[in-house]
Amino acid sequence: MIHRTIPTWQTRSWQDELSQLITEPEALFTTLKLDLGHLEAAKQAANLFPLRVTQSFLNRMKPGDIADPLLLQVLPLAEEFNQHPDYSADPLEEAESNPVPGLIHKYRSRVLLIGAPQCAINCRYCFRRHFDYQANSPSRAQWLDALSYIRSTQDIDEVILSGGDPLVISDRQLAWLIDELSAIPHLQRLRIHSRLPIVLPSRVTPELVNILTSSRLQPVLVVHCNHPQELDSEVGAAFALLRNQGITLLNQTVLLKGINNVAETLIQLSKELFKLGVLPYYLHLLDKVEGTTHFDQNERDAKGLHMAMLAHLPGYLVPKLVREEAGATSKTPV
Ligand SMILES: *Cc1c(COP(=O)(O)O)cnc(C)c1O
Ligand code: SF4
């Protein structure tokens, strides 16, 4: 028998990587050699919203640094128990705009489809951390209801596949869904919001790119990058694969206190993204969802950061500063 040594990253598929997520706080602490003084709080907070992180994302964190900007996006903290009257479980009142399970129709021309019941990483600031994925867990039967809703609503010209992360579903399911969508005449564009190209770059395979580009719908992929440290060569290669086949790549960032609320960081993020072919789209103020008060950056400072970006960057590298308001007809410029 001939033995060959193949680096593990070449032999493991993205599905394997997804099945080997880090979900135990102990594992996170041991791998990163973190101060165990924070472990008990992490375990408690993980009961509110589970810990989930890919090995790939973890590899980009600095060992021993409890304040690492990537770590803080996934590390459960005692602060998540803080209550505040302005923070609720469903601040965007999405439940009001949920005409059929798995579908959110808030803005006139576009509709959001929950592509999957989970994500590859659980972001602690997630506005859907209390979302009822159980009642909105996509199945084919449920997608059929969503598809008939879209078919019967002429105003809709864009479908957005969103979080849970739509790219965790299999190529086969995704191809089926896109096929069904492209048969609806009034649809023009297919938009996908996903963190996978960043947190699990191996998900971006030639097969996936082929599925996204072979329908008549114009594909747009919005990645969610919050910090330049998230961008490494594997992520760059994934972006290149997507971009080279004509997929428009945009980025949205959530402004997070303690993670990216520094002008230089945001400026560098825009520049690094553009080098990799991604245009900044939105800089979001945090949604006031329970358990996230510690990430909130007040509006005055947010505006100051945005002004600094305007002063240092060409206009096309400055994302729009927005907030989401329940009942508004679009995102609200700040
Ligand atoms: C943000 C969002 C959209 C997309 O809005 P754009 O301004 O087009 O990016 C659509 N539907 C819902 C429910 C949203 O939250
Ligand atoms: S990837 Fe998006 S939907 Fe999923 S946990 Fe993170 S913020 Fe929430």
The rounded percent of the chain whose pLDDT value lies above 90 is: 85
- Residue 195 domain-assigned (yes or no): yes
**Index of the ligand 2 atom closest to the CA of residue 194:** 1
Number of the ligand closest to the Cα of 130: 2
**Does the structure show a pLDDT above 80 at 270?**
yes
**Index of the ligand 2 atom closest to the CA of residue 199:** 1
Report the pLDDT averaged over residues 166-182. Answer: 96
- Residue 9 domain-assigned (yes or no): no
Q: Contact at 8 Å (CB) between 278 and 250?
A: yes
Tell me, what's the pLDDT at 4?
A: 47
Tell me, what's the pLDDT at 130?
A: 83
- Residue 88 domain-assigned (yes or no): no
Q: Any idea what the CATH number is for the domain that residue 284 is in? A: 3.20.20.70
User: What does the pLDDT look like over 5-59, one tens digit per residue?
Assistant: 444 454 569 999 999 999 999 999 999 999 999 999 999 999 999 999 999 999 9
Domain count of the chain?
A: 2
- Residue 282 domain-assigned (yes or no): yes
Tell me, what's the pLDDT at 266?
A: 98
Residues 75 and 208 in one domain: no
DSSP per residue, 199-260: H-GGG--HHHHHHHHSSSSEEEEEEE---GGG--HHHHHHHHHHHHTT-EEEEEEE--TTTT
User: What does the pLDDT look like over 283-322, one tens digit per residue?
Assistant: 999 999 999 999 999 999 999 999 999 999 999 999 999 9
- Residue 295 domain-assigned (yes or no): yes
Nearest residue (CA) to ligand 2, atom 7 = 126
Domain boundary among 81, 103, 127: 81
Tell me, what's the pLDDT at 217?
A: 98
Element (H, E) at 110: strand 110-114
Report the pLDDT averaged over residues 233-260. Answer: 98
Residues 154 and 202 in one domain: yes
- Residue 6 domain-assigned (yes or no): no
Tell me, what's the pLDDT at 172?
A: 95
Residues 235 and 116 in one domain: yes
**Pairing state between β 103-107 and 110-114:** antiparallel
| The total number of residues written for the chain in this structure | 334
**Does the structure show a pLDDT above 80 at 218?**
yes
**Is 195 in a helix, a strand, or coil?**
coil
User: What does the pLDDT look like over 285-296, one tens digit per residue?
Assistant: 999 999 999 999
**Does the structure show a pLDDT above 50 at 2?**
no
**Of the candidates 245, 255, 246, 201, the residue with the CA atom closest to the CA atom of residue 223:** 201
Enumerate residues lining ligand 1, CB below 6 A.
104, 106-107, 110, 112, 160, 330-331
Q: Token pair of 164, please?
A: 């849970």
**Does the structure show a pLDDT above 80 at 73?**
yes
Domain boundary among 81, 109, 136: 81
Distance CA 232, CA 225 (A): 12
Element (H, E) at 173: helix 171-182
Residues 221 and 133 in one domain: yes
User: What does the pLDDT look like over 124-155, one tens digit per residue?
Assistant: 999 888 877 767 667 788 899 999 999 999 99
Across the chain, mean pLDDT equals: 94
Residue 256, classified by CB atoms within 10 Å of its CB into exposed (0-12), middle (13-18) or buried (19+), is buried
Distance CA 102, CA 120 (A): 19
54 lines ligand 2 (CB under 6 A): no
Residues 65 and 102 in one domain: no
User: What does the pLDDT look like over 88-132, one tens digit per residue?
Assistant: 988 888 888 899 989 999 999 999 999 888 899 999 999 888 877
Q: Contact at 8 Å (CB) between 168 and 119?
A: yes
Residues 257 and 110 in one domain: yes
Residues 98 and 74 in one domain: no
- Residue 3 domain-assigned (yes or no): no
Cα(229) to centroid of ligand 2, in Å? 18
| pTM of the predicted protein model | 0.94
Residues 194 and 122 in one domain: yes
Distance CA 207, CA 201 (A): 14
- Residue 8 domain-assigned (yes or no): no
Domain boundary among 60, 81, 102: 81
**Does the structure show a pLDDT above 70 at 209?**
yes
Distance CA 332, CA 320 (A): 10
Residues 251 and 296 in one domain: yes
Number of the ligand closest to the Cα of 224: 2
Residue 23 lies in domain:
14-81
116 lines ligand 2 (CB under 6 A): no
Tell me, what's the pLDDT at 90?
A: 86
**Does the structure show a pLDDT above 90 at 204?**
yes
Report the pLDDT averaged over residues 324-333. Answer: 93
**Which of 331, 332, 334 has most ligand 1 atoms within 8 Å of its beta carbon, as the pocket-test mutant?**
331
Tell me, what's the pLDDT at 128?
A: 82
